[in-house]
Amino acid sequence: MTKNIKERLDHIVPDHITLTHSKKSKILAEAGHHINHKRGEAKRSIIPVLSVLFIIIVTGISAAAFIQQHEQESALQAVLNKDLKAVTIPGIDYSQLITSQYIDDTNELVYINDDEIYAYSTENQEIQRLVASNENAQINNFTANQNWLIWEDIHSNTLHVLNRHTQEQDVYHHSSASIQLADDYLITNRFDSFPGYSIIHLPTKETKNVHRQTGLGANSMAGILGEYLVIPERFQEGSSKLTRFFLYNIKSGKLLEEYTLPYEQAENITITEEKIYAQLSNSDEPYILGYIDLESGKYHKLDVPAFDAYAVHHNYLALSIPDKKGSNTVELFKLEEKSTKPIRAFADIEERLVKPRFTGNGTLVVNSESTYFSMYLLDVNNLNEK
C-alpha cells in the first residue's frame, strides 16, 4: 500500500515542485497512519482516506511551493541589499550629479563642476580632476568611457576629444546638439554645414556623414548598442505627425532598416539585442511605452503603470511612477512575457529617486533628492542568478 501511495505521490507532484526526502516521508507516514487507523472499516473509508491523502498531498505541494517562492524572494532581497550601492560626493550639487555618467570598467562617476570635469571613484572614494578650467571656457556637455573623454565648449563652439591613456587632445570646430560614445566611435548630431549625424572613428580620426536630417527634428538622442545606431526623426505627412527610426551600422555607416510609428513624440530611444524601445505620445496624451521587434518589424505596446521616465536593459525595466506622497519615484520591474513583475530594489530608500538610466553593461543609475544628493547604483546582471 505504501509503495502505491508513493508512486501516486511522485505522479501527482508537478515537476517544478521539489519535495525533499523528509517531506515525502512525512506525507507517506501521515497517509499510512490514517489508513491503518481505519483499516477495520476499509469499505466505508476508501473515499475519506483518499480525501485525507489528497488534502495532505495538496498541503505539502502548497507548502513546498510557498517555501521555494519565499526562499527565492529572500535570496533576491539578499542580492539587492548587498549590491545596491549608495554614492555620495561631498560638496557636489544636484544639478551637477543629474548629468553625471557612470563608467563600469573604471568604477567611476564622471561629472561637470564649475566648467571642470571630474571623476569620482566609487571604490576608493577619491576625486580626480580630468579637465581643468580654461579662461572663458563653458563646458556644456560631455560623454566618457574608459578610453575617451569628449566635451563641448559652447563659448568657442569647439568639440574636444581627450585620449585618457595618452592625454592627447584633438579639437573640432563644429557645434552639436548631442555627442555620444560607442567604444572608439564618436556619434555627433550636428547643426552646422551638415545638419545631421556624423560618426568619427577616434583612433584614426576618420569622419563619415551618415544621416542628413530633413524632417522636424527629434525629441530624443540616438539609441546605441554595440555597432548599431538608431536615429529618431519627426515628420509631417498631411495633417499627421509621425516618427521614423533609422537603423545604421556604426562601423560601416550603412542604413540597415527604417521603421515608422504614428506618434508625434518619441523620447529616450533605447536599442537592445532584439528591440527598439521608446517613450511615445501624441500632443498632451499620457506616455506609452512600446517597442519595435527588430526581427518582425512589428510594434508592440507594453502594459505598464503610468510613468514619466523609463530605462530598460534586457528584461529589466526602471520606471518613474507616482508614489503615495503625490510625487513620483523610481521603481524596478522585471519584464515577463505579458506582464511586469515589481522588484523591491529601493524599498528601504525613503527619499525620492529620479532620472533612471542604465549603463551599457547593465548598471542602473538613479539620483536621489536627499539632503546630500546621494546616487544609487545597482548591477541588474546579478539579479539573473536568483
pLDDT at 194: 87
Q: In what order do the strands lie in the sheet with 195-201?
A: 176-182, 185-191, 195-201, 206-212
pLDDT, one tens digit per residue, over 17-63 is 444 455 445 544 554 554 455 455 545 555 565 565 666 665 555 55
C-alpha cell at 61: 505541494
Residue-range domain boundaries for the chain: 2-80, 313-386
d(CA 197, CA 222): 9
pLDDT, one tens digit per residue, over 68-88 is 544 444 444 444 557 899 999
Listed in order, strand segments (DSSP E) in 202-287 are 206-212, 223-225, 228-237, 240-249, 255-261, 265-271, 275-281
Query: DSSP H helical segments within the chain, as ranges?
Result: 2-12, 21-37, 42-83, 94-97
Query: Are the C-beta atoms of residues 265 and 280 closer than 8 Å to each other?
Result: yes
- Kindly state the average pLDDT of the residues 170-196: 92
pLDDT at 379: 96
d(CA 99, CA 17): 47
Of 206, 188, 205, 185, nearest in space to 197 by CA: 188
d(CA 267, CA 286): 13
**Which of the pair, 324 or 131, is modelled with greater confidence?**
131
pLDDT at 380: 96
pTM (predicted TM-score) = 0.78
C-alpha cell at 100: 553625471
d(CA 91, CA 236): 47
Burial of 34 (0-12, 13-18, 19+ CB in 10 A): middle
Parallel/antiparallel/unpaired status of strands 176-182 and 116-121: unpaired
